[in-house]
Each structure stands twice: as structure tokens, then as C-alpha cells.
Chain A
């Protein structure tokens, strides 16, 4: 039977995109389907810590070793997505000395470079650390942008011939007897790039082999073919501060706990996180106490956080898994390792494997192992090269280091554009050499050329533009720039499409701010609301119900 594609990957998170890229480079014909935007699942809702492995150096040394190996690889192949911030495990007076020693020894056992600093030395690096921080272990933690990294994998997969379909939800697995041979998807607005207000369609995609990389949702996919995959989704909260109170990743040096990491991320710092099992990865409570706990507990490490401005909070769900019969009670004790479930071996149903568990930091190694497995099944004999081949944007480090003003932009903006785009900067910014290139998002310094490049990739979906550019992710949370971003869709897209795209982005930006509505951010919310409702009347836009307005009744001028 002829198949539409050789391998069909379900899920456009880091795992799915990593697998698609790996297979595509090996010459395998791949299709990837994702129900929302790329990173729409857990990958877009994580803490952004590129683990050194230090966190697992006592509890799980296999993971720790894998982390440091992958950490070093990503610094090379994804340099434009990684900020080498370094990290500190800080000890407060009440934290145990014994654990501190174990942590240090664990790091050394796993090959994680680790240096002990006195409290004073630690405060020289991070002046806002609490006065009573006793000492710290310095490790090579980093910050990673999951959006750009994931998109770069998908882009590279496409460059190698893959088909990537976003807004394509799997609604059924095609199974005949003991063989899974494809899926049925529902395209939100037809296949190809998303365009708002285009009617949806369904499509059957057949494949020689299906890889289920839907993370916390893997159980739902399995159920479509009567397979039992016991994923235990566990939620965690993250709270975003408006500035970087720290430039180094700050971890609390104690066995395990909530609210124990601060990651500096671009213009912000992100506090996290918690670990609590939930029933439904699409519908779980997002609660006030979780946000309060982040601030109160992490203020023990960095006291100024207590009164600082937070711009939003968000939650993610870990796709935790343990083999049947393990029976761990506390989700924090469930292994962070990943599992490859070959449903042929496990359930006697051929044609599909599922991947569950794991970490973002080790996505590449996971993808390699899975791609090896799939290639073995297909009889493909090609070596994995993803540990050496840079991702698009990171190919040529010299490009990143060019003069800052070469694009006629204010220097800090040029620098930020280049950091985001990496070696793609000339391609993206030079295409518009003779056209104006004003700043569209002031908070993050994103210019028209970058927005247009993202629209090129992702259609009328402004959330997809956002994750590619960071536009609307700064202090104003889109209040001042959502409108400008939407303007950039025109005339490529018509007025109705632009209006729908704007409404969707604005509502999405509001969602996370609800958890930061006090102090400066509440004032910002009122300003944003006034701008959109008072100045623009977007809340009662007659275009949404034009028949209701009889213009002739109103003042038509003196």
C-alpha cells in the first residue's frame, strides 16, 4: 500500500520537532502534525532552564550526566537560543550542610564543572542575593528559549523535505487489526499556513510508521486505538518578573521543593515552580496561592522580589510517566527520565511508538534514540548528525559578531534582533533594505522585518508570530503593540482576518496577566484596557455588528 508519508510524527513540541528534524536529515520522508501552534503544549510553558544537570546530581545521576552532555551540545548547535548565564546552587543558613556536600560530590561524579563560592563571592556575582546566603556552588546552567529552539528544529526539518502542519489536531488513529497505519486530522483552517476565518477541513494521513510525541496528551492519542498509556500530568506554575533581578540561574540547594529556581530570560526573570498531579492536561485550576508561593519563597533567596513587578504567570504540565506497577505517590518522586513505548512489543499493536517523560534540555538525545529506533524498524541505515549540525540561525557564529549597526537600527535593537535571529539576521533584515523598518514592539525591540519574516513562516496566527519574535511578551504585555503586529498582516490578509487575529492575540495576552494583577501591572492592565476600549472602542466595535448602528442619527458635523 502506498503511504502519504513514511513517518508521521504527532505533536509539535520539542520532542516531536526534534524527531522530525533528526529523521528528515537522515533522508526519511516525515510529516509532523500539531493541534495548535508549535510549542503549544508543555514546551511553550516551561521554565527555560538549560539544565547543567546540577539539579539531578544527587537524586538521578544518569539524568544529570545526560543533561551536562546535552547542555554542551546545545551551546554549539543552538547558540542563538541559549544564553550562557551560569547557575548557582545557593545555601541558606537553614539548609543542610550535608546536602550541600552531596550536591558538590554529585556534580563532580557526573562531570558537571562545579566551584564552591563563599556567600560574599556569590553576592559579588548576584548583588541581590539575600545577605544570609551562606555559600553557593557555581555550575554551567543556562537559559534557553524554547520557542526559537523548537521552531528552528521545525524549519530545518522543512528544509530537509518534511511537511509540518500546525493547527492540525489528530482526531483519530487509523487502525486495522493490529496495525496502526495513519491518523485523521482536523485542519483548523485547511492545510498549509493558518489563515483565520478559513473553514476547517479533515484529512487522512497514512504512514508507514507513527510516532506519538504528544507528551501529556499521549494517553489520549493511545486511547484512540485502545492503547493504555498511563501518563501522569503534573502541573507547575511560573511567574514572570518585569526585569532581570538576577543574571544567573539561582537554584536553592536543598533536596527538593517548590519555588526553588529563578531563571533570567531575555528582559525578564522567571520564578518557578511547583509539581502537582492533575487529571486533565487541558483543564486544571490555576490558583492564587501558587503565585504567592513563588514570590514569598523565592524572596528568601532574592529579597527584592517581594515588592517587584510581575507581568504574568503561566502554568505547564509535565508529561510524567512511570511503567505500570511502579506506584510512586508524590509526583516529585517520579523519574524525569523518558520512556519509549513500542506498542508492538508492549501491546502487540504494530506501526506506532509513543514517547513520554523526559526534559527539554535532553530533547535532542531523546530524538536521536527514537529516530534510531524508527530507522531500525524501517531498515534505514543513516547516522544521526544532530549533535554536530547547527540549527538554522546558529550556523555561523561570525555572523553574530558582526558590527551592530549594519542594519541601520538603534544599536540595542540591532543587537537584540541579532541575538534572536542568529545567523539568519542578514537574510531577514536585508530583504527590506530600501523599506522602512520601524520598531513594532517597543518593549522587546522587535522590528517590522522580523515580524514580516515570522508572518511568512506562520500565516495570520499572531501567537505564532509572538513565539518567533517575542513581540508582545514584554512589560506592556501587548497593550501597545498587539495592534501594530496585526497591522503588519495587512494587506497580505484581509481586514476580517486581521481583526480575528488581533482579538485572539489580545485575549491570549490577557490570560496570563490575570495572575499578576496588582501594583504596576494592574495599572498597566487599566492603561491597556483604556487604550483598546476607550481610544479604539474595540470592545464595542460596530464592525462586529454593523447593522446595529444608524449613522444618520448621530452628529454629522456642524
Chain B
């Protein structure tokens, strides 16, 4: 027998989670379910919530070195200037603000940046700085648009972050403070290829490690040992930055211990995959989904659907080989883009694999890219073209299904990597799609 809900969200990344939460809030009596296949893109993402860092370029244009753009100071002021078809244009500037407010409520103390409309400039592990609208509390003391001097600490076993180089790079980028970097060995890490979660757990649990002084009787807590290793390198800087490995389950406590021991502010620099700040955001969202009474079915993909009269009747979930129909009044597709596998491609065509919604793209695959790796890449804009209700449109601009909306990276018409708008678009479109689905489900 079919499982029946009012709203069914497919895909559990930032967009899907937001859609499910918005639907549950809009329609408190509705049954909302989220079905998701695998871990979302958040494990790759830095955990920053970008809204709009740079004005979008036009597709296919080669962007040479030297023609670089200025970062946008106030992203909200730019929202009304975006080209037709951009997801922000579809939902409208007001909805973007509402969505950010919705996120701020959900995230609470875990995120900062909501006190202003302005973007912050945040150092990256590559030493550049990037504009973003919301940042984890762990990064709040690390802004490059904050003029306090900073000491950056890297570890010889973590080759992704070379602190002295990043410090020099931040200075080349014109940041208004002195940055220095040191490379240390991480107390308690014995293997050269330990995973980042190993570093985080050492600190979470404050495991006993050999004290760095090598004292004979000396095993001390990992947090104290790390602080001791850093201390002698401080030259009066009021803040110290670490790669984003300061705890998985108890990051606030870890930061506080380090800050107390060192007598300075402590911050994290966002890192590449696997990204602890991204995973922490995912944990936060899933805890919120549980509180909101959303039924979450994870580890299972939606594999098929039945439609009648222009509406989706039910979808089919593959649970370990058993095909289970799920029906709902309203559906939200939030299966991600090329990375999340909500958009797929072959040598001949680009497609949306579940409902085969229309994905506009050039027929010749040699027109899917431009030669400059950082040029205006057409492939980065692949995705569904929705109406203002976020219903995906077919090739003749009619909604594919009356009760299907789409949100997040599965949408096309924007290049989140170049614009720095990934999480912002997922929040805004997830919020709108979830709200509308909630409204229409009852």
C-alpha cells in the first residue's frame, strides 16, 4: 500500500531541508516527508551561506585575467538587477530576504552575519578572501574585513592548508591587517594521513595526548596540548585562526577552551571536502527537521513516478530493492545539480533523471564549456527553467506537472560558483517552493 503524505520533498540537501521546514511551518497540520538518497553536497561545501558575491556574467563569455570583478558589498541591493530566469529573479528579492530570516531563526547562535545586509569577506584555505552573507559562529572572529592582526596555524600533516602561505596571500589580497602563519605538528596525531574527523574528535573528547614539552609524566588533554603548542608562537595577535577541524560535535566548547587557554579569540578557516562546517550545518538542519515533525527517509532514492492529468500521482522509492509507492498532494524536487546528481549528462544530452524535466542546453557538447577554466561556463548553468512559482517548465514553457516545484542546484540559469550564490539560492528557492507546496497541500 502506498505511503501517503501531503508534501513530499525529494532530496535532502540545503534546498530540500529548507523546503521541508518551510512546508511544515506554513501548514502545521500537513504531513511533510523528506526522501533523500545520499549525503548532500554540504559535505563538500564550506558551510558559508553566500547570497550574491559577484554580479552574474553572460554565458559563454571568456573572462580573462585582469578583468576581474569587484565583490558586491550589499547583495540584497543587487537582487532586482538580475537577468530574467535567474532563480532570484523568479522568486523576487523580498522572498530572498524572508528566506534568510527563516534561516537565521533556524540557525540561531550557530551562524552570524544577520546583523547587517552587507557581505563579509572571509579568508579561504587557499588564502584568498571571498564575499559571503552568513558565516558559522566559528568563523566570526576570522573575517578579513575585520582589521585585527591574525596568526594562522597550520599542521604539517594537513597539506590542504599551508598557513604561512595563506597569510602571505591574504596580505597580497590587500586585507587591512598583518597576518602571519606557522606550521606545527598536531598533538596526538600519529598517522600522517589521519582523517579530519580524527582531529575533530581528539578535541571534542579532549583525549589524553603526549604533552608537547615531552615531559616524562606527561599526558594532558588535547585542547591544552594544542594551546600550549601555539602559545609560544603568538606575538601579540589578538586572534588565531585554525583550519576548520576544531571539533565535530562540540565545536563551541573546543573554541572556548582554546581561547581561554591562549587569551585570544579563536576562529576557523573554512576548508574543502570533507568539510566539518558543512557537516555541522547538515546536522543542525536534520535536528530541526525532527523537531518540526518532518518524516525523514534517508538512504533511499526515488526511482520512478506515475502521472495523470498533468499531475504527479505518486513516486516510487527503492528501498533495498523493494519498490514502495509514495503519494502526496505536492512534490518538491531538490535533488541537486551536477554534483548532487539531480542533473545528469551523457555524450549526447543533459537531463534531469527522475521526471525527465526539460533541461535547456546546447546540442553540441563542445558548446557546454569555454576554454578558460574560470570563464563563463555554460555547464555551470545547467538545470531546470522554472516559472515564478518554481514549477519546472517544459520546452514549450508550460509547467511539466502542476504539483511539482523545484529548488536548489537542480535549477538552472545561474552559476553559483562564479556568483557566490549557492546556499542563498538553495535557501530562497527551497523556502518559496516549500511554502507554496505547504499552502496548496491543504
Q: Which of B54, B161, B193, B346 contacts A410 (CB 8 A)?
A: B193
Q: Which residues of B contact A440 (CB under 8 A)?
A: 159
- Tell whether, in the assembled complex, residue B164 and residue A490 are in contact, meaning their CB atoms are under 8 Å apart: yes
Residues 255 to 275 of chain B near chain A (Cβ within 8 Å):
270-273
Q: Is A543 an interface residue (CB 8 A)?
A: yes
Set of chain B residues within 8 Å of A436, measured between Cβ atoms? 156-157, 185, 192
Whole-angstrom distance between the Cβ of A519 and the nearest chain B Cβ: 6
Check A506–B373 contact: CB distance below 8 A: yes
Return chain A residues, CB-CB under 8 Å to B112.
557-558
Assess the B173–A549 pair: CB atoms within 8 A.
Answer: yes
B351-379 contact mask (Cβ, 8 Å, vs A): 1 or 0: 00000000000001110110111100101
B159 touches A448 (CB 8 A): yes
A127 to chain B, nearest CB (A): 25
Task: Give the complex CA separation of A552 and B120 in angstroms.
Answer: 10
Q: Find out whether the CB atom of B373 lies under 8 angstroms from the CB atom of A510.
A: yes
Q: Contact residue range for chain B?
A: 35 or more
**Docked-complex contact A530 and B417, CB < 8 angstroms:** yes
Q: Determine whether the beta carbon of A522 is less than 8 Å from that of B338.
A: yes
Known: A288-B365, A514-B371, A522-B379. A540 touches B339 (CB 8 A): no
If the complex has contacts A410-B193, A519-B346, A542-B128, are A547 and B174 also in contact, measured as CB distance less than 8 A?
A: yes
Task: Please report whether the interface of chain A is mostly helix, strand, loop or mixed according to DSSP.
Answer: helix
Least distance between A26 CB and chain B CB atoms (Å): 43
Interface centre among B165, B169, B345, B369 (most CB of A within 10 A): B165
Which of B70, B157, B339 is A438 in contact with, Cβ under 8 Å?
B157
B422–A530 contact, CB under 8 A? yes
- Taking the complex as formed, is B311 at the interface, i.e. its CB lies under 8 A from any CB of chain A? no
Interface residues on A, range: 35 or more
Tell me, in angstroms, the Cα distance from A232 to B397 when the chains sit together: 53
A533:B345 contact, CB within 8 angstroms: no
Cβ distance A237 to chain B, nearest Cβ, rounded Å: 14
| Docked complex Cα distance between A86 and B124 (Å) | 48
Once bound together, how far apart are the Cα atoms of A499 and B169, in whole Å?
A: 9
- Whether the pair A556, B128 counts as a contact (CB closer than 8 A) is no
Chain A residues near B366: list those with CB within 8 A.
Answer: 288, 514
Choose among A517, A548, A558 the residue that contacts B68 (Cβ–Cβ < 8 A): A548
Chain A residues contacting B173 (CB-CB under 8 Å) are 541-543, 546, 549
Among the listed B54, B68, B127, B161, which residue makes an inter-chain contact with A544, where contact means beta carbons less than 8 Å apart?
A: B68
Contact: B175 with A480, CB < 8 Å? no
Q: Contacting A533 at CB < 8 Å: which of B69, B157, B374?
A: B374
Could you tell me if B113 and A555 are in contact, using CB atoms closer than 8 angstroms?
Answer: yes
CB-based contact A484/B169 at 8 Å: no
Contacting chain A: which of B21-29, B138-146, B295-303, B427-435?
Answer: B138-146
Q: Which A-chain residue is minimally distant from B161 (CB atoms)?
A: A487
Contact B159 A523 (CB under 8 A): no
Q: Nearest chain B CB to A466's CB is how many angstroms away?
A: 16
Q: Tell yes or no: B65 within 8 A of A by CB.
A: yes
Q: Which of B136-163 contact A (CB under 8 A)?
A: 140-141, 143-147, 156-162
Q: Is B317 interfacial (CB-CB < 8 Å)?
A: no
B residues within 8 A CB of A448? 159
**Neighbouring B residues of A525 by C-beta, 8 Å:** 338, 369, 379
Within 503-558 of A, Cβ neighbours of B (below 8 Å) are at 506-507, 510-511, 514, 517-519, 522-523, 525-527, 529-549, 551-558
Q: Chain A: residues with CB nearer than 8 A to chain B?
A: 288, 292, 295, 408-410, 435-440, 447-448, 480, 483-484, 487-488, 490-491, 494-496, 498-499, 506-507, 510-511, 514, 517-519, 522-523, 525-527, 529-549, 551-558
A-B pairs, 8 with minimum CB distance:
A546-B174, A537-B130, A536-B126, A554-B145, A487-B162, A533-B417, A555-B120, A495-B168
Q: List 9 A-B contacts (CB under 8 A).
A: A288-B365, A483-B272, A517-B368, A518-B346, A536-B130, A539-B418, A543-B172, A554-B131, A556-B145
